[in-house]
Amino acid sequence: MNIEEFKERIEMGEEFQFYYLDESYWISQNEEGLYLTRERDSNSQSFKTTDELFEKGTIDNKKIKEIWDEIDI
């Protein structure tokens, strides 16, 4: 899956667990927004839209698109 398909599937309401550097993360959502959460400590970032998630969401101070090739879904 490429990053555009990943983003489209999130926009359709899918939720994902993925791994980056052997750490587990979740992208989840509810009626109030989307959440990027690190499983280890439940550190969570919240966003109003999918675009905001991909523009402002970070893992190790890097945006998802910057580390896409290192993400294991």
- pLDDT tens for 8-25 read 999 999 999 999 999 999
- The token duo for 68 is 């896409």
Q: What is the spatial distance between Cα 12 and Cα 60, in angstroms, rounded to a whole number?
A: 26
Are the C-beta atoms of 34 and 10 separated by less than 8 Å?
A: yes
Strands 62-63 and 33-38: unpaired
* pLDDT-above-70 percentage for the chain: 100
SS3 label, residue 66:
helix
Phi-psi region of 31 (alpha: psi -120 to 50; beta: other; left: phi over 0): alpha
Q: State if pTM tops 0.85.
A: yes
